């Protein structure tokens, strides 16, 4: 048992761009750094704040890439320097999570760790905290716990968890299979059946249980991460990271570990219902933030009054408007549009086409307009 | 007769803001300074270029206010310094035109002068030149000539000229009455009758004929302008201007001179049909500039390629887009919208509500947002 049993180590993955949130989210200033939370906190900061009833700040780790290490460190200025884990290059989620697990295991071999995306919104923090505590009970028993969201619609943009009956000693359901993003009809049948949850990509486990499954299923990755962890507190850390990291396979933790663990009965879930939203696009963002009486959502408005970030709406309905400091967005006589203004680009499109914004990013890349991507 | 008979003195009035073209047109950078012409010329520059078959550059005068004297002088860098007439304060069109007439009369007492707005577009320069030459024939006979545009729709935004039969020795129609902006029904009856032309606010006359009518109808204004003109080439110019100009009545030339001259049979017109457009709002601008195959008009696009002024349109129709250098406008899945981007503000509204843009400017003024006005 851990010397601090009952506590959680929180791992926040600060990676990914979020091209459907272009032009706000850019390769150089990705989604998680932006205040899309309805407060002045960035998604990254809100993710850490959400863990405050579960983990003290010295147990919060963040894994990020070289491009955003500085911005991430500054936004999370209350966590220790040593808890900022910088990947030399992107190697997908399994390597990132395994690195954090191995580093935490050096401090506390049976620590319970929770892994969280840095770019989701959760509206009910108390309920979230309760669900994590329940998941920790399953984790304590050696299960790899994944958080499942009770689906509210036949969403085709998420993966699903196929659940079985209760397992272990708590309110934990066994996860029989991980399902990839389904077609609409399949998603509808999932939702009707009541046996499927959205896979929200949040995990809770004992680090030893995870590292053991990693060794079983991904021995090369486990060995590499183990070498890196052994050198972590030595003068050789950078040398070893530089040598080993590029050799690690690029693979998501779902494919690499969770699917295989589910088939041998080692994955559990606690159905969650805490206002989860992946903030995948501006339409979704508009559904989760507070709207004015006409249904217009102004993201981050009045956060920086001194910066003169202004919005003037006249006879508009259902807009999602993202203004930028020092500039004015004026709209009149339009409805259900997304208007996103940034220091060097502005986007206008209907909310119903929010998912297609990523195609604009593809088009800009093809045109060689890398400054805007 | 003038020693240069047959030639024209061109007077360009560079005043007014154009609030329906907000946020492009501002108090500090009004409509006429912008390249809304489909080329890289501003409306002001295009107005002067359009006169090149009629008047040499040393016979082109521009009347402007103190706020824009520098910008106007720089845009029109080929006209002599002495031809830039700077009004100490706005006194409406009669004072501006009278000043130009009086200054020109000092050089050439029987000069024929044409007065033109600086913020209109004319697509057929050759036809325009022909019409002005016909008007000059009427002017030579002492008539105050006003250019009338053959109406193409029952427009309620313009004044009308009620025409009578031919007068004088040329293809000149007498103007019986100036009509204010009519209701839709009245405008419809005007267009059907065939006796009405749009009052385009362009005038051609002998300066002595105009100054004589001015003396008859506006003796105070005529005396004031005469005092100023007498001091024009003396060291006292600024003193006299500063003393007399503020005492001149604020009145338009239509009210002050043309209406009264029409009732005594001294106004003539030549119906014109040269692609006149007053560029009153962004919808109108979109109708007069070249569109892409989907009907999208991008104003000034590709004029400043090195400035990276970009537009990315995907599945759009009938847009009027005004980009700004160094920024990108991206639109997807929208139609018949106006999107105007500027360094500090962006506007989105339907083309059919283009006229109401001025209300946004009013609202900004009420809010004290003077930086954006």
Separation in Å, CA of B139 to nearest CA in chain A = 46
A23–B328 CB contact, under 8 Å: yes
- Mutation pick from A307, A313, A327, A331 vs chain B, by most beta carbons of B within 10 Å, is A327
Nearest-by-CA chain A residue for B325: A344
Quick check: A332 pLDDT over 50? yes
Separation in Å, CA of B192 to nearest CA in chain A = 33
What pLDDT is attached to residue B309? 59
Rg (CA), chain A: 21
CB contact, 8 Å: A362 with chain B?
Answer: no
What pLDDT is attached to residue A1? 39
Q: Which of B253, B250, B222 is nearest to B89 (CA)?
A: B250
Q: Where are the alpha helices (DSSP H) in B150-236?
A: 184-193, 207-217, 219-230
In A312-351, the residues whose Cβ lies within 8 Å of chain B are 312, 314, 326-334, 337, 339, 341, 344-350
Question: How would residue A370 be classed by pLDDT, with cut points 50, 70 and 90?
Answer: confident
What pLDDT is attached to residue B244? 95
Question: Which residues of chain B form beta strands (DSSP E)?
Answer: 8-14, 60-65, 84-87, 112-117, 121-122, 144-149, 160-167, 172-179, 196-206, 267-272, 276-277, 297-298, 310-314, 320-322, 328-332, 337-341, 345-350
Rounded to whole angstroms, the Cα distance separating A227 from A237 reads 10
- Six-digit token string for A283: 């339409």
CB contact, 8 Å: B169 with chain A?
Answer: no
CA dihedral (B320, B314, B333, A283) positive or negative? negative
CA dihedral (B205, B208, B212, B218) positive or negative? positive
| Residues carrying CATH 3.90.550.10, chain B | 8-277
CB contact, 8 Å: A186 with chain B?
Answer: no
A350–B333 CB contact, under 8 Å: yes
What pLDDT is attached to residue A309? 59
Residues B44 and B12: beta-carbon distance below 8 Å: yes
In B18-77, the residues whose Cβ lies within 8 Å of chain A are 23
| Residues carrying CATH 3.90.550.10, chain A | 9-277
Option in B327, B332, B356 nearest A356 (CB): B332
B328–A372 CB contact, under 8 Å: yes
Quick check: A104 pLDDT over 80? yes
**CA-CA-CA-CA torsion for A308, A309, A315, A316, nearest 10 degrees?**
180
Q: ∠ at Cα A248 (A243, A254), nearest 5°?
A: 155
When pLDDT is averaged across residues A235-246 and rounded to a whole number, the result is: 91
- Residues from chain B that touch A323, judged by Cβ atoms under 8 A, are none
Give the strand pairing for B172-179 and B297-298.
Answer: unpaired
- Residues from chain B that touch A346, judged by Cβ atoms under 8 A, are 327-330, 339, 341, 346
What pLDDT is attached to residue A81? 92
The percentage of residues in chain B with a pLDDT greater than 90, rounded to a whole number, is 75
- Six-digit token string for A297: 């959502």
A314–B359 CB contact, under 8 Å: yes
Mean pLDDT by 10 residues, chain B (373 residues): 65 88 88 88 96 96 92 94 92 96 96 96 95 95 96 91 87 93 95 94 97 98 96 90 93 95 96 89 90 91 51 96 92 97 96 94 90 88
Residues A297 and A291: beta-carbon distance below 8 Å: yes
CB contact, 8 Å: B363 with chain A?
Answer: yes
Q: Which of A37-41, A347-351, A360-364, B254-258 has the lowest mean pLDDT?
A: A37-41
What pLDDT is attached to residue B265? 95
Q: How far, CA to CA in Å, does A59 sit from each of A79, A104, A145? A: 8, 9, 19
ipTM above 0.85, yes or no: no
What pLDDT is attached to residue B6? 60
Helices H, strands E: what count in chain B? 12, 17
What pLDDT is attached to residue A5? 46
Q: Which of A208, A204, A215, A207 is nearest to A256 (CA)?
A: A215
Q: How far, CA to CA in Å, does A54 sit from each of A88, A112, A137, B304? A: 29, 11, 13, 55
What pLDDT is attached to residue B306? 46
Q: Which helix (H) or strand (E) holds A369?
A: none
Question: How would residue A2 be classed by pLDDT, with cut points 50, 70 and 90?
Answer: very low
What phi, psi does B122 have (nearest 5°)?
-135, 120
What pLDDT is attached to residue A362? 93
**CB-count burial class (<10 Å; 0-12, 13-18, 19+) for A77:** exposed
When pLDDT is averaged across residues A291-310 and rounded to a whole number, the result is: 71
Question: How would residue A6 be classed by pLDDT, with cut points 50, 70 and 90?
Answer: low
What pLDDT is attached to residue B4? 44
Question: How would residue A306 be classed by pLDDT, with cut points 50, 70 and 90?
Answer: very low
Option in A344, A353, A363 nearest B327 (CB): A344
Report the CATH number of the A9-277 domain: 3.90.550.10
- Six-digit token string for B369: 């947002």
Report the CATH number of the B8-277 domain: 3.90.550.10
Question: How would residue A300 be classed by pLDDT, with cut points 50, 70 and 90?
Answer: confident
What pLDDT is attached to residue A203? 98
**CA-CA-CA-CA torsion for A140, A141, A146, A150, nearest 10 degrees?**
-100
**CB-count burial class (<10 Å; 0-12, 13-18, 19+) for B74:** exposed
Question: How would residue A40 be classed by pLDDT, with cut points 50, 70 and 90?
Answer: confident
At A58-100, the pLDDT tens digits run 999 999 998 889 999 999 999 999 999 999 988 999 999 999 9
Rounded to whole angstroms, the Cα distance separating B253 from B257 reads 5
Interface size A-B, in CB pairs within 8 Å, comes to 109
8-state DSSP, B278: -
Mean pLDDT (chain A) is 91
**CB-count burial class (<10 Å; 0-12, 13-18, 19+) for A144:** buried
The SS3 of residue A127 is helix
């Amino acid at each position: 048992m851990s010397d601090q049993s009952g506590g959680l180590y929180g791992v926040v993955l600060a990676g990914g761009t979020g091209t459907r949130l272009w032009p706000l989210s850019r390769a150089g200033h990705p989604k998680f750094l932006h205040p899309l939370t309805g407060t002045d906190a960035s998604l990254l900061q809100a993710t850490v704040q959400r863990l405050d009833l579960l983990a003290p700040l010295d147990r919060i780790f963040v894994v990020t890439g070289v491009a955003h290490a500085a911005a991430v460190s500054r936004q999370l200025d209350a966590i220790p320097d040593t808890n900022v884990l910088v990947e030399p290059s992107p190697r997908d989620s399994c390597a990132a999570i395994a690195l954090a697990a191995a580093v935490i295991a050096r401090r506390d071999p049976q620590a319970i760790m929770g892994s969280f995306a840095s770019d989701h919104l959760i509206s009910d923090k108390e309920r979230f905290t309760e669900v994590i505590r329940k998941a920790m009970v399953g984790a304590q028993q050696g299960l790899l716990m994944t958080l499942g969201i009770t689906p509210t619609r036949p969403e085709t943009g998420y993966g699903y968890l196929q659940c079985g009956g209760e397992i272990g000693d708590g309110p934990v359901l066994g996860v029989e299979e991980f399902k990839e993003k389904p077609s609409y009809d399949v998603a509808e049948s999932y939702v009707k059946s009541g046996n499927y949850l959205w896979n929200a990509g949040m995990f809770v486990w004992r680090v030893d249980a995870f590292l053991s499954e990693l060794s079983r299923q991904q021995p090369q990755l486990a060995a590499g991460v183990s070498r890196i962890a052994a050198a972590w507190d030595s003068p050789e850390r950078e040398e070893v990271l530089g040598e080993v990291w590029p050799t690690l396979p690029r693979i998501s933790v779902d494919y690499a570990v969770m699917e295989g663990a589910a088939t041998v009965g080692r994955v559990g879930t606690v159905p969650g219902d805490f206002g989860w939203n992946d903030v995948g696009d501006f339409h979704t963002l508009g559904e989760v933030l507070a709207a004015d009486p006409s249904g217009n959502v102004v993201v981050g408005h009045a956060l920086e009054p001194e910066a003169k970030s202004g919005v003037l709406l006249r006879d508009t309905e259902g807009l999602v408007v993202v203004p930028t400091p020092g500039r004015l967005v004026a709209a009149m006589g339009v409805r259900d549009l997304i208007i996103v203004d940034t220091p060097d680009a502005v986007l206008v499109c209907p909310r119903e086409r929010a998912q297609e914004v990523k195609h604009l990013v593809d088009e800009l890349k093809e045109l060689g307009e890398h400054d805007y991507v």
